[in-house]
Amino acid sequence: MYICICNAIREADLRRVARRCPGNAEACYGAMGKQPSCGTCLDRAEDIVLEEREAAFEKLSAA
């Protein structure tokens, strides 16, 4: 599914970048060489970034 239509960013791509890139959704966009355009995607993108960070924290806590 596309998260950002303006930049053709797919959810899977954003999740992959969020696992490696510190910072918020805009920083993750930057890591992909993109930047928000209209901004309507940023709330959902931020939710996805936080989900990935929480999942990583849970994995570390379980280890």
pLDDT digit string (tens) for 23-59? 999 999 999 999 999 999 999 999 999 999 999 888 8
Per-residue model confidence (pLDDT) at position 61: 81
The enclosing H or E element of 40 equals: none
Specify whether the CB–CB gap between 32 and 40 falls below 8 A. no
Q: Looking at the predicted structure, is the pLDDT value of residue 4 above 90?
A: yes
> How many angstroms separate the CA atoms of 59 and 53, rounded?
10
Per-residue model confidence (pLDDT) at position 56: 86
> How many angstroms separate the CA atoms of 53 and 50, rounded?
5
Q: Which tops the pLDDT comparison, 4 or 59?
A: 4
Per-residue model confidence (pLDDT) at position 16: 96
What pTM does this model have?
Answer: 0.89
